[in-house]
Amino acid sequence: MSLIMEGRNLLSSKLKVVANIPFNISTDVVKQLLPMGDMFSEVVLLLQEEAALRLVDPSLRSSEYRPINIFVNFYSDPEYKFKVPRTNFFPQPKATVVAFRLKQALDYPRVSSTKSFFSMVNSAFNGKRKMLRKTLQHICPPTEIEAALSEVGFQTTSRPEELALEDFVKLHNLISKP
């Protein structure tokens, strides 16, 4: 990864990443590559089907909806492509493998700081099934969080799995300190 960072200034056009990586490091690889949108136009990965589906098509209000879904959708337009037959691998994996594409988003959502935004998103999802006014109270008082939730169009008892990316962006912009 450091070699890529050093060669960043030598690029005349954006690269495409196509990789078959170990399933257990896929989230970390995605977290490293997507913020480098100035270098990569898209990332195509082979992943275990269930992991790819969680990244590409998370459902609001489901237990599968996590901070990584917000991260992926912040930086890219994810797309499930196709299944890859097990017979194409040696040794053959036990899991079903699929190809999916993360095409860099043309415009990222406007937040004052991506670091504080993702910190807020991660905090929101800490503590399973907790209300946002509780999980975000270290950022600002619960009354400010409740007011911001109301302004965004949510109940004061809302939980993180109820908010889409756009809702988190609005909430962050209302409660973040300059």
Q: 1 labelled as ligand-binding? A: yes
- Say if residue 91 is preceded by a cis peptide, omega within 30 of 0: yes
Q: 126 labelled as ligand-binding? A: no
Structure-block tokens of residue 64: 């599968």
- DSSP code at position 96: -
CA distance 53 to 64: 10
Query: Buried b / exposed e across 56-77, counting CB within 10 Å, b at 16+?
Result: bebeeeeeebbbbbbbbbbbbe
CA distance 1 to 123: 27
CA distance 43 to 100: 8
The torsion angle over the Cα atoms of residues 46, 35, 56 and 169, rounded to 10 degrees, is 170
Residue ranges for the known binding site are: 1, 20
Would you list which residues are annotated within the binding site for S-adenosyl-L-methionine? 1, 20
